């Protein structure tokens, strides 16, 4: 009997031109490439900035390699008319173009959507920016922290007075930029199947962070009481949704939102009945829970939470998470670069069957590896 046929990836016929750099756009086009799309990365002659950032892996920036594995590279000077002329046939044949410049840059190059759709009416053109293509902030420079600051999300959990805390996640870049870009590109592909028309997708990372405060915005708008740090259930204002410090300095994440879980947790730590209503005297309830947690080391709580059902966890380090029995069982870290370097930094959120198989380990592109044949003919 012959081997079972390998299923075709869902985006195997999608042709993508990628003008993006750093994190949001490259992560988006990486997800497309993982699902089978052919992605050509357009870079300046000396390469995009991420190529030169550490640490290094096999002669490449490891971060660049993780974000651009399986793509090819076209090194062009977009201000050179000859290089632009070489690029146009690719655009004419492309399904998707993704760019991440400030508004107006692509227009100055003659590569804006209005110019290109006359050549390729079915082109899906995705622009990823901090603040969108219009509005007073459209031209402002920024990064992840700025986008969270402008949309109000950052103010919901700034840390204790006098000790402001940086969020540890690049949430705006990935959840506000890359993932909405992919979702909208795929929706536009579905729409084009019906209409034959392309679209201009305007992804603004700052406003795409607002759904993360879906619980806070309605409360403020409807009641006039706008949530602030430590004033609401999800911003540190209740004992049942809080971080506590164990005896050995480890952190315990308590998220016993529902009453049934909260009561199980209160029984487990022997919290006095008078403090179990954590709305009556929130400060006293938090202090009492902290005293109870501080009475034992992290290992005690790890063992206890494995035995009871109360939505509580020990806060793991990244190193501990990378060795997690659960994540290992789910093969989260099985994918590699070129069969050697584990993709610990980038477990891709695509289900098996919808992405390249783990045994087809992609390599990052060498700078200009597509220059000798700038076409969408699929590489072997």
> Cis (ω within 30 of 0) for the bond into 55?
yes
Asked whether the beta carbons of 99 and 20 are under 8 A apart, the reply is yes
Cα distances from 195 to residues 71, 121, 198, 305, 335, in angstroms, run: 29, 11, 8, 54, 37
Catalytic residues: 143, 173
Report H helices in 126-276.
Answer: 144-150, 171-173, 179-195, 216-223, 259-269
Give the N- to C-terminal CA distance of the chain in Å, as an integer.
27
Q: Give the three-state DSSP class for 11.
A: coil
Distance (Å, rounded) from C-alpha 197 to C-alpha 124?
A: 8
Q: What 8-state DSSP symbol labels residue 252?
A: E
Structure tokens at 86: 């070489």
Distance (Å, rounded) from C-alpha 244 to C-alpha 248?
A: 12
Nearest to 91 by CA among 118, 72, 68, 129: 118
Nearest to 59 by CA among 348, 324, 281, 340: 340
- Which residues fall within 8 angstroms of residue 291, CB to CB, at 6 or more apart? none
Structure tokens at 145: 């922290």
Structure tokens at 101: 């410049």
Q: Give the three-state DSSP class for 331.
A: coil
């Amino acid at each position: 009997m012959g081997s079972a046929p390998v299923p075709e990836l869902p985006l195997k016929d999608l042709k993508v031109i990628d003008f993006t750099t750093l994190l949001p756009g490259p992560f988006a086009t990486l997800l497309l490439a993982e699902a089978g799309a052919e992605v050509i990365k357009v870079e300046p002659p000396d390469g995009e900035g991420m190529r030169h950032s550490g640490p290094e892996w096999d002669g490449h920036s490891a971060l660049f390699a993780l974000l651009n594995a399986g793509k090819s590279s076209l090194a062009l000077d977009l201000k050179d008319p000859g290089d632009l002329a070489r690029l146009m046939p690719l655009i004419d044949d492309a399904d998707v173009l993704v760019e991440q410049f400030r508004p107006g840059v692509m227009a100055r190059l003659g590569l804006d959507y209005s110019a290109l759709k006359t050549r390729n009416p079915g082109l899906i053109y995705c622009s990823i920016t901090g603040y969108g293509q219009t509005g007073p902030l459209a031209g402002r420079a920024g990064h992840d922290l700025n986008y969270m600051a402008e949309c109000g999300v950052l103010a919901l959990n700034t840390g204790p007075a006098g000790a402001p805390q940086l969020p540890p996640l690049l949430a705006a870049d990935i959840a506000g930029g890359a993932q909405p870009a992919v979702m909208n590109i795929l929706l536009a592909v579905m729409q084009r199947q019906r209409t034959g028309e392309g679209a201009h997708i305007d992804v603004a990372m700052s406003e795409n962070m607002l759904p993360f405060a879906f619980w806070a915005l309605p409360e403020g708008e409807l009641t006039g009481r706008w949530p602030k740090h430590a004033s609401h259930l999800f911003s540190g204002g209740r004992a049942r949704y809080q971080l506590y410090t164990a005896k050995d300095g480890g952190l315990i994440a308590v998220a016993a939102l529902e009453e049934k879980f909260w009561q199980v947790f209160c029984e487990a730590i022997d919290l006095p009945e008078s403090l179990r209503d954590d709305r009556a005297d929130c400060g006293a309830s938090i202090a009492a829970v902290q005293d109870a947690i501080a009475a034992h080391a992290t290992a005690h709580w790890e063992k206890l939470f494995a035995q009871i059902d109360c939505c509580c966890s020990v806060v793991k380090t990244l190193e501990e998470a990378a060795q997690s029995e659960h994540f290992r069982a789910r093969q989260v870290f099985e994918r590699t670069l070129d069969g050697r370097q584990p993709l610990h930094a980038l477990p891709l959120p695509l289900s098996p069957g919808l992405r390249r198989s783990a045994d087809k380990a992609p390599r990052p592109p060498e700078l200009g590896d597509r220059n000798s044949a700038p076409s969408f003919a699929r590489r072997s």
